[in-house]
Amino acid sequence: MSTLADLTIHEALDLLDSREISAFELTQAVLSRVAATEDRVHAYLNLDAEGALAQAAKADKERLSGLQAALLGIPIAVKDNISTQGIETTCGSKILKGYIPPFDATAIKHLKDAGAVILGKTNQDEFAMGSSTENSGYGVTHNPWNLDRVPGGSSGGSAAAVSVGEALGALGTDTGGSVRQPAAFCGIVGLRPSYGRISRYGLIAFASSLDQIGPLTRDVEDAALLLSVLAGADPRDSTCRPNPVPTYTEGLDTGIKGLRIGIPTDYLAGQGIQPAVAKALKEALACLEEAGAELVELRLPHTQYGIATYYLIATAEASTNLARFDGVRYGIRIAEEGTLEQMYAQTRGQGLGEEVKRRIMLGTYTLSAGYYDAYYIKAQKVRTLIKQDFDQAFEQVDILVGPTTPTTAFKLGEHITDPLQMYLEDIFTIPPALAGIPCMSVPCGFDAEGLPVGLQFMAPPMEEAQLLKAAYAYEKMTRWNKRRPVLC
């Protein structure tokens, strides 16, 4: 049954502003949906129902007193690797059990300043390492379209929550595809902004040169709305860009007539693309052409090296980023007896999951004396080549379009014993992440089993406005995003 919980953010804002509904009612509707579906989906690690209702009531009062704010009274879910003051933040890891941040991430501060209602923290692959949310230290999340399927990952909890109506929108994070891939698997919109567009302060780092916070929403307009709130310079994050933040919701509907859209052929050939995905892509391209875009086939020749490059750089950074989880200052400590080294070994041995340990080992090896040049430095060089692929492509075209993932949502447990197969899920999402360019996944159809397919749009650095415009035009023509999973 459709309720207020199924509204998009901009629809809800219209109703709130015209006083047809209250933020309290809206939050209640979302909490009712959580009550109805959460036992099957398990999107949340920590739901703050009481806090959310209090924030909603406050938002209603503020609206009555004439306050205007971009997200006043909108219930939003937050991935568990983003620090929330006073709310346990575990990153999906047992090692951070009980850790309550004394500060808000800059993105959370922006959300709160805009009047958003924070619902709670969503499930994820531990430290954002994974593509299925099966690597969580706190149980798996189920895809609302088919409960036997994964929701994607690592922002699987956020994607599932938005998809099934347990939140109107959510924050995820994307290191190599962790916003776009779950968005594709759950039939929603997932935006990864340019590197440096949204502050990383308070985002618990996996791979610092790749991590970006991004919104997961039910349509492109909502993504634009959230991005306008979240983006902007931050003196606490030196990698955050100072570029002014446009109002991304403005000019969305100017159309794509004459827009040059590049189709990277390397994203099509021999990459294990399922027929349903290939078909959806073909139809999407036809649709874009019909809207007046000019399609240009081109090459991104270093695409095939993306995964190898990514797994060297990301794990190298992760191996040091995760060194702070040593049992000394926060989270769990396992050290009944024994030496300092035993405390480290026990705390990290038991507190961290298999995939996380695997990546720490890989990264440590990559940075070790005698291997650094062959692995880390070489990977950095290839990263530059991949960036140059995109630079050259964007000399010819305005936007690139391709599949978000080679397949639709796979079965729970299907890849769990084969990490390499799991890594291949990110083959199309990794290269733009390495290049630091903005990119997003938009629903573009369903396979025979009714599982959603995602279409990936990519734009030059800091050209989010262009990216959103193209995605918006496509969405308006197809309306795949209007279809919702039915669990109740």
Of residues 325, 281, 42, the one with CA closest to residue 158: 42
Binding segment toward another protein, per CB under 8 A, in 50-58, 291-299, 322-330, 390-398: 322-330
353 and 400 Cβ atoms separated by less than 8 Å: no
Binding segment toward another protein, per CB under 8 A, in 8-16, 251-259, 369-377, 425-433: 369-377
SS (H, E, C) 177-245: CCCHHHHHHHCCEEEECCCCCECCCCECCCCCCCCEEEEEECCHHHHHHHHHHHECCCCCCCCCCCCCC
Secondary structure letter of residue 381 according to DSSP: H
Single-letter residue type at 350:
Q
Active site includes 178?
A: yes
Considering the complex, what minimum distance in angstroms separates the CB of residue 380 from another protein? Answer: 9
Considering the complex, what minimum distance in angstroms separates the CB of residue 104 from another protein? Answer: 10
SS (H, E, C) 428-450: CCHHHHHHCCCEEEEEEEECCCC
Give the tokens for residue 101: 């941040």
Give the tokens for residue 269: 């050939």
Considering the complex, what minimum distance in angstroms separates the CB of residue 373 from another protein? Answer: 11
Q: What is the rounded CA–CA span in Å between residue 158 and residue 482?
A: 18
170 and 162 Cβ atoms separated by less than 8 Å: yes
Residue 244 touching another protein (CB under 8 A): no
Residue 374 touching another protein (CB under 8 A): no
Question: 62 or 326, CB closer to another protein?
Answer: 326
Question: 42 or 200, CB closer to another protein?
Answer: 200
Residue 203 touching another protein (CB under 8 A): yes
Residue 488 touching another protein (CB under 8 A): no
Binding segment toward another protein, per CB under 8 A, in 44-52, 88-96, 111-119, 420-428: 88-96
Query: How many Cβ atoms sit within 10 Å of the Cβ of residue 294?
Result: 15
Secondary structure letter of residue 376 according to DSSP: I
First to last CA, the chain: 6
Is 199 exposed, middle or buried (CB count within 10 Å of its CB: 0-12, 13-18, 19+)?
Answer: buried
380 and 313 Cβ atoms separated by less than 8 Å: yes
Considering the complex, what minimum distance in angstroms separates the CB of residue 98 from another protein? Answer: 13
Considering the complex, what minimum distance in angstroms separates the CB of residue 140 from another protein? Answer: 23
The site string for another protein over 147-186 (x = CB under 8 A, - otherwise) reads ----------------------------------------
Binding segment toward another protein, per CB under 8 A, in 68-76, 273-281, 316-324, 449-457: 316-324
Question: 32 or 380, CB closer to another protein?
Answer: 380
Question: 157 or 202, CB closer to another protein?
Answer: 202
Considering the complex, what minimum distance in angstroms separates the CB of residue 261 from another protein? Answer: 32
Binding segment toward another protein, per CB under 8 A, in 59-67, 232-240, 291-299, 408-416: 232-240
Residue 335 touching another protein (CB under 8 A): no
Judged by CB under 8 A, the number of residues near another protein is 45
Among 64, 286, 340, 488, interactor with another protein by CB under 8 A: 340
Residue 298 in 3-state DSSP? strand
266 and 302 Cβ atoms separated by less than 8 Å: no
Residue 381 touching another protein (CB under 8 A): no
Active site includes 79?
A: yes
Q: Spell 48-82 as b/e; 16+ CB within 10 A means b.
A: bbeebbebbbbbbebbeeeeebbbbbbbbbbbbbb
Binding segment toward another protein, per CB under 8 A, in 62-70, 133-141, 196-204, 301-309: 196-204
Residue 270 touching another protein (CB under 8 A): no
Give the side-chain half-sphere CA count within 13 A for 24. Answer: 8
Among 324, 381, 479, 482, interactor with another protein by CB under 8 A: 324
Site residues (CB under 8 A) for another protein, limited to 103-142 = 103, 105
Cα-trace Rg, the chain: 21
370 and 138 Cβ atoms separated by less than 8 Å: no
Among 326, 414, 447, 463, interactor with another protein by CB under 8 A: 326
Catalytic residues: 79, 154, 178
- The site for another protein (CB under 8 A) is made up of 81-83, 89, 91, 96, 99, 101-103, 105, 200-205, 207-209, 235-239, 316-317, 319-320, 322-326, 328-330, 340, 344, 364, 367-369, 372, 376
